[in-house]
Structure 1
Amino acid sequence: MNNHLWFTSALTLFIEIVMGTLGNGFIALVNIIDWVKRGRISSVDQILTALAISRLSFLLSMLIFMLIFILCPHLFMALEMLMVTKIVWTVNNHLSNWLATCLSVFYFLKVANFSNSFFLYLKWRTKKVVLMTLLLSLIPLFLNIVVTLACIHLWINSSEGIMFYSLRNSTLLSRALLFTNSSHVFLPTASVFMFIPFTVSLVVFILLIFSLCKHIRKMQLNFKRSRDTSTMAHMKALQTGFSFLIIYAVYLLFIVIEISSLGLVENMLIILFEYSSGLAFPTSHSFVLILGNSKLRQAILSMLQWVRCHSKDRDTLGP
């Protein structure tokens, strides 16, 4: 891969990390400050804070791995480093996806209206349902880690892995490129587990649409205004859920493109594309959450207004 493409990819990753850190750090900071002031924190803010912190951990770990790969690439020749990299990526990506899914489930249970007794049972226990959803997600996380470790050992025991550890006299770049060949095994298997939270969020989104349609028909039959509080709550939840699904669908589409490109383009390019698409999801979704949450939106408007006033005062004083 030429130096220009490498520089462009590395710069893209760095920008995503910076923007993701700012967005998720803002969400976590605003909610934590509000928690300290009020002495309590709402359920939705708990989920948002946990989601932001998990994504900050994700972005920080990827930044550390990038710096290690650039500054000390020989460390990636060790089997232990390969395992740590894949497991950290798997755990952080899993928490990011499932906490976002729990947020969709929370909005659905709080906003939707169905007369079904089972739904009412779940609605009355929204906090427990969200907690149980997160706990049940540990099962696919455990399976994902087991499959990842099995794939690592399978790849190491293959002819490609043996060649990887036998090339002691090769250049560092050649060995680094051999390291990326593991994508042939890891990427298809890991992508299977990413479709689970997407499917859950898609089902929740469809049910929320049915709930909104049912509510609108009820309002029309009662000759009431269609844009009441419940309708607005439905629309807000749908906008948040739709944004999440669109971003997630694009992310999954990138994974499909990566899998279909295995063996057709340089392996290092596939790895950079994988990391870029993986970091784009938590980065872009954080700003969607800020714009979709009234408290966060007001906080960022207040911050921008403060910066603007501060800049005016400094210009007025002059040099």
Structure 2
Amino acid sequence: MQHNLKTIFVISHSTLTIILFTELVTGIIGNGFMALVHCMDWLRRKKISLVNQILTALAISRIFELCLLFISLVISFSYPDLTTTSRMIQVTCNLWIIVNHFNLWLATCLGVFYFLKIPNFSNSLFLYLKWRVEKVVSVTLLVSLVLLTLNSLLINLEISICINEYQRNITYSFNSYYHTNCHRQMLSLQIIFLSVPFVLSLSTFLLLIFSLWTHHKKMQQHVQGRQDASTTAHFKALQTVIAFLLLYSIFILSVLVQIWKYELLKKNLFILFCQIAYIAFPSFHSYILILGDMKMRRACLSVLWWQKLRKNYVETLDL
């Protein structure tokens, strides 16, 4: 019986590890493709729109995040003792906070951009913001940088307190002490900062829903024509924001579960499952953005067509 449980554990651990690394590689490829297409378009046209600037920056930030996670996992598997030192934990936490911050806030800026560009509310404040969408996005990013600074200061303060307490009573490794006494407080602190872009994205989503509903009512009273383009834009923006919110919700839930079921953090399978849950956000959201963009879909089809021609050419040479 014990042997069977051990076998199931090994199989489950191996399966989750494979899924985790597959997610990372898939995410790096998807975000790399998106960044490459937008950069090539920028070089060809000698200019880049605001939405493409956001998408390019988002893709690059996610590449950094996924590469950081990939390297961290490789180090933890190859040199587990290296990741248990106080210095390494502090560096890893700070790097993760920075890359994750830009990942979330750039995606939030994308939602804000869609909200200001697509709906046509008659509210004077909305019109004022709509005409200054670039400034709104810039201010949103500046506010996010203030929150990033505050987040980093609080996290480093928490780690410093943890290190000082540990040095007073060195009974076991810092890694064990950190996960026993400090990790839950840090996760709770992260939830506060993670909730800010989530609430902002949820607000833009609800306002987009309201705008689509009012637009649909107007369409029922007029002949369908030019309004169809607005409806299509609404639906595309809603699809992007819905996907963002769903993946973001999974991301936050994975952190909340770690706080509520903190004792499970000692189990490797639970840690792997949580990592798979929150890596899904930066990995799969890029493919949703690619599928929702005509230019990106065409570029993707061109690559697939080129790969098919190349394969056929190689097979012809072999014959």
Q: TM-score with structure 2 length normalisation? A: 0.89
Residues 32 and 59, structure 2, Cα contact 8 Å, conserved in 1 = yes
**Aligned equivalents of 1:189, 1:292: Cα separation in 2:** 34
**Aligned equivalents of 1:4, 1:152: Cα separation in 2:** 35
Indicate yes or no: 2:134 matched with 1:127.
yes
67-76 or 176-185, which deviates more: 176-185
**Aligned equivalents of 1:29, 1:8: Cα separation in 2:** 31
Residues 262 and 270, structure 1, Cα contact 8 Å, conserved in 2 = no
Residues 27 and 49, structure 1, Cα contact 8 Å, conserved in 2 = yes
The aligned length equals 311
Check 1:156–1:105 CA distance in 2 against 1; reply closer, same or farther (3 A cut): same
The aligned counterpart of 2:112 is 105
**Aligned equivalents of 1:147, 1:15: Cα separation in 2:** 33
**Aligned equivalents of 1:264, 1:317: Cα separation in 2:** 56
Q: Cα offset for 1:71?
A: 2.8
Check 1:277–1:285 CA distance in 2 against 1; reply closer, same or farther (3 A cut): same
The aligned counterpart of 1:167 is 172
Q: Cα offset for 1:179?
A: 5.0
Check 1:4–1:178 CA distance in 2 against 1; reply closer, same or farther (3 A cut): farther
**Paired residue for 1:65, among 66, 69, 72?**
72
What is the alpha-carbon root mean square deviation over aligned residues? 2.3
Q: Cα offset for 1:157?
A: 4.0
The aligned counterpart of 1:260 is 260
The aligned counterpart of 2:36 is 29
Indicate yes or no: 2:64 matched with 1:54.
no
The aligned counterpart of 1:241 is 241
**Aligned equivalents of 2:176, 2:267: Cα separation in 1:** 7
Letter in 1 for 2:41: D
Structural mapping, 1:148-187, within 5 Å = 148-158=155-165, 165-167=170-172, 177=176, 180-181=179-180, 182-187=182-187
After superposition, give the CA deviation of every residue in 1:111-164 in whole Å (9 maximum; x if it has no partner): 0110011111100011111111111111221221122112212333446x766x
Secondary structure of 2:263's partner? coil
Letter in 2 for 1:261: K
Residues 162 and 178, structure 2, Cα contact 8 Å, conserved in 1 = no
**Aligned equivalents of 1:183, 1:6: Cα separation in 2:** 23
The aligned counterpart of 1:80 is 87
Letter in 2 for 1:301: L
Letter in 2 for 1:167: Y
Q: Cα offset for 1:299?
A: 0.5
Q: Cα offset for 1:57?
A: 0.7
Secondary structure of 1:154's partner? helix
**Aligned equivalents of 1:286, 1:33: Cα separation in 2:** 17
Structural mapping, 1:199-238, within 5 Å = 199-225=199-225, 228-238=228-238
**Aligned equivalents of 2:228, 2:221: Cα separation in 1:** 14
5+ residue gaps, structure 2: 1-5
The aligned counterpart of 1:300 is 300
Check 1:141–1:229 CA distance in 2 against 1; reply closer, same or farther (3 A cut): same
48-57 or 38-47, which deviates more: 38-47
Q: Cα offset for 1:225?
A: 4.8
**Paired residue for 1:140, among 143, 147, 169?**
147
Letter in 1 for 2:184: H
Letter in 2 for 1:280: A
136-145 or 43-52, which deviates more: 136-145
**Aligned equivalents of 1:129, 1:97: Cα separation in 2:** 17
Indicate yes or no: 2:75 matched with 1:89.
no
**Aligned equivalents of 1:8, 1:149: Cα separation in 2:** 35
**Aligned equivalents of 1:260, 1:189: Cα separation in 2:** 14
Check 1:316–1:33 CA distance in 2 against 1; reply closer, same or farther (3 A cut): same
Q: Cα offset for 1:226?
A: 8.6
**Aligned equivalents of 1:267, 1:21: Cα separation in 2:** 27
Secondary structure of 1:228's partner? helix
Q: Cα offset for 1:76?
A: 2.6
203-212 or 146-155, which deviates more: 146-155
Residues 112 and 208, structure 1, Cα contact 8 Å, conserved in 2 = yes
After superposition, give the CA deviation of every residue in 1:155-206 in whole Å (9 maximum; x if it has no partner): 33446x766x5437xxxxxx65555444322212112211111110110011
